[in-house]
Amino acid sequence: MSPGDILLLLLLFPLLSLSPNAVAGSDDVGVLFTSSRWIVDRTGSRVKLACANWAAHLDPVVAEGLGNQPVDRIASSVRSMGFNCVRLTWPVYLATRTSLASLTVDGSLRRLGLADSAEGVAVNNPRLLNLTLIEAFKEVVWTLGRHNIMVILDNQISAPGWCCSKLDGNGFFGDKYFDPNEWIESLKKMAAIFNSSPNVVGISLRNELRGPRQNLIDWYRYMQRGAEAVHAANPAVLVILSGLDYDKTLAFLHDKPLEDLSFKGKLVFELHWYGFSDGGDWENGNTNAVCGDISQGIMAKGGFLLEQGWPLFLSEFGVDIKGDNPGDNHFLSCFLSVAAELDLDWAIWALQGSYYIREGRPNYDETYGVLSWDWSEPRNPYFLQRISAIQSPFQDPSISNSPAYDVIFHPSTGLCVLRDRLNGRPVLGSCDENEAWNYTSQHKLVLKDSGLCLQTEEEDNGVKFGEECEDSGSKWEAISKSGMLLSTRSGNNGSLACMDVRSDKAIVTSPCSCLEKEGPCSAAESQWFKIVYSNRRGGSSFSKLRSS
Ligand SMILES: *[C@@H]1O[C@H](CO)[C@@H](O)[C@H](O)[C@H]1NC(C)=O
Ligand SMILES: *[C@@H]1O[C@H](CO)[C@@H](O)[C@H](O)[C@H]1NC(C)=O
Ligand SMILES: *[C@@H]1O[C@H](CO)[C@@H](O)[C@H](O)[C@H]1NC(C)=O
């Protein structure tokens, strides 16, 4: 969409530009649009969704955690952990079954035998305790709004409960609990309820379609109806469509795009990617090969949409946050490299450290939750460091006068290669420092505008900055199926070595790990470096060098 189109939209929908709570400033939340593959604000500037999923669709139909912490404190922890958005889940019945929606929070928890949780809500959120479920849901949305947190309302399921299994009656249009007409009704209602809540920026129509009934004819038919229903009830929101097979694939759109929608500039697709969906590959395979193959698969299953000019929201991924699952750890490094390279919008599963009740078990610990079991603190601060680089945009299509550059991202730590301010040596540091590199066609890694390049050192397998960039020790070829091993031939014996990181974060070389011929192997991750294209402001090491 061109700026002209956006202007046209604003003229067509004058109310949108007058949302009462909108405040000036780049950090405020407001109406979003799509512009080719990007999600943008009304000025055309990139807005990157860095969301956490917050469940409110399980049996109690109460946003999780309200028995543990005040909703205000949960909202500020979302912000302080670096997220700008929540994907808040809800069941169809919350919108369509008055007998459910009119239960109070207290009543809903107690009917499930969760008196302890009800007492927790009374202590932590007394104002919410006697609200009806739908009123409490609104309060959560509005509280997030007061913290400038965007909300995507995600219809996770029809009948409240843990999602998702193939045979749970919630999998596809026509399943036991999944009446398409009731679903449309619920979308209309939720869209209308939040019509004047500027922080509700998107509605995702249905989570993880699946099961024996799934078919393309119904997908196109009902997704179109659902999209039109949401747009008619609330033209401000992004309309987000998920794929088939647990939202693991949108491949069918490659040759048959969704056509004939009455609106433009609002359509987004969502895809899910978990390591556990890839069999035991992340644990047992050769991580270079596995990452290379599976990333390619992700491009075929949904990444191609970016190339076709549609935004792709990676609306669920997740891992054991403590780092106790080796397969998850390998998956996460690979995921981060893809998310950085494609500069995806995303939502992690999950915010919640625990559930009131899940699959019959009270106070269920969510090992994928970024918050601890009692919601009082991050489950693992190091995990937050690892995802922090992808919480900010690398690219902004509206910045045209800012020169592009490369970032050298190290996914297994979440850090980037920088020039140490004190000793002038290459070192890992925060990606916010934003060093500007140029990975040239001759495979040199040049600090932009400075003439300095990375090269190997004779002693200690070190890597340093040099001015003579022509020798073989200055050439870094990206090898292996992952494409993330930066290899060089150097040192006294001229053997192949790969860029690596020492425990003090200094950049060094070591023998290349997990080249495919070695078979099962998981030792490569400290050697993974992803060259990421960026044009965000501030990426000028030359000015830093001159001033230092
Ligand atoms: C909630 O309602 C109950 C029963 O009507 C009442 O006793 C209690 O004081 C109320 N609690 C709050 C916090 O409003
Ligand atoms: C990198 O350097 C080459 C010249 O070696 C230049 O043509 C290219 O535009 C530069 N790329 C960036 C992103 O600065
Ligand atoms: C070559 O040198 C590197 C370090 O400089 C060392 O790790 C490797 O074992 C050496 N290879 C041979 C064949 O000597």
Can you give the pLDDT at residue 490?
A: 72
Q: Is 458 a catalytic residue?
A: no
Q: 99 CB less than 6 Å from ligand 3?
A: no
Q: Which H helix or E strand runs over 52?
A: strand 50-54
Contact yes or no for 535/403 (Cβ under 8 A) = yes
Domains of the chain, CATH where assigned: 3-398 (3.20.20.80), 402-534 (2.80.10.50)
Integer Cα distance of 203 and 163 in angstroms:
18
Count other Cβ atoms within 10 Å, centred on residue 326: 13
Integer Cα distance of 355 and 55 in angstroms:
9
Contact yes or no for 275/327 (Cβ under 8 A) = yes
**Chain centroid to CA 501: how far?**
26
Can you give the pLDDT at residue 59?
A: 98
pLDDT of 508 strictly over 80: yes
Integer Cα distance of 501 and 510 in angstroms:
9
Integer Cα distance of 352 and 55 in angstroms:
7
pLDDT of 175 strictly over 80: yes
Integer Cα distance of 333 and 321 in angstroms:
13
Q: 402 CB less than 6 Å from ligand 2?
A: no
Residue written as token pair 């390591």: 275
Can you give the pLDDT at residue 401?
A: 76
User: How sure is the predictor about 537, in pLDDT bands with cuts at 50, 70 and 90?
Assistant: confident
Mind listing the pLDDT tens digit for each residue in 362-396? 999 999 999 999 999 999 999 999 999 999 999 99
Best substitution site from 108, 129, 131 to test ligand 1's pocket, by max atoms within 8 Å of Cβ? 129
Integer Cα distance of 343 and 532 in angstroms:
9
Label each residue of 404-421 as H, E or C: CEEEEEECCCCEEEEECC
Q: How far is the CA of 474 from the centre of ligand 2 (A)?
A: 16
Alpha-helical segments (H) within 65-215: 71-80, 92-96, 98-101, 105-111, 115-124, 126-129, 133-146, 180-193
pLDDT of 262 strictly over 80: yes
pLDDT of 279 strictly over 80: yes
Average pLDDT over the chain, rounded to an integer: 92
Residues in the chain: 548
Best substitution site from 402, 407, 408, 438 to test ligand 2's pocket, by max atoms within 8 Å of Cβ? 438
> What is the DSSP track for 53-94?
EE---STT-S-TTTTTS-HHHHHHHHHHTT--EEEEEEEHHH
Can you give the pLDDT at residue 518?
A: 67
pLDDT of 12 strictly over 60: no
Can you give the pLDDT at residue 494?
A: 78
Can you give the pLDDT at residue 492?
A: 61
Across the range 285-305, mean pLDDT stands at 97
Q: How far is the CA of 542 from the centre of ligand 3 (A)?
A: 35
Residue written as token pair 């080249």: 515
Contact yes or no for 75/43 (Cβ under 8 A) = no
Can you give the pLDDT at residue 459?
A: 76
User: How sure is the predictor about 183, in pLDDT bands with cuts at 50, 70 and 90?
Assistant: very high
Token duo for residue 82: 């670096």
What stretches of 165-266 adopt beta strand conformation (E)? 200-204, 238-242
Can you give the pLDDT at residue 449?
A: 84
Helix or strand or coil: residue 271?
A: strand
Q: How far is the CA of 438 from the centre of ligand 2 (A)?
A: 6
Specify the residue with its C-alpha closest to ligand 1, atom 8: 130
Contact yes or no for 178/96 (Cβ under 8 A) = no
- To the nearest 10 degrees (0 to 180), the angle between helices 71-80 and 133-146 is 40
Mind listing the pLDDT tens digit for each residue in 94-138? 999 999 999 999 999 999 999 999 999 999 999 999 999 999 999
pLDDT of 265 strictly over 80: yes
Residue written as token pair 């980037």: 416
Residue written as token pair 């433009």: 264
Integer Cα distance of 72 and 66 in angstroms:
10
DSSP state of 541: H
User: How sure is the predictor about 29, in pLDDT bands with cuts at 50, 70 and 90?
Assistant: low
Token duo for residue 173: 């249009």
Q: Is 208 a catalytic residue?
A: yes
Report percent pLDDT > 70 for the chain: 92
pLDDT of 64 strictly over 80: yes
Count other Cβ atoms within 10 Å, centred on residue 519: 9
Integer Cα distance of 74 and 91 in angstroms:
21
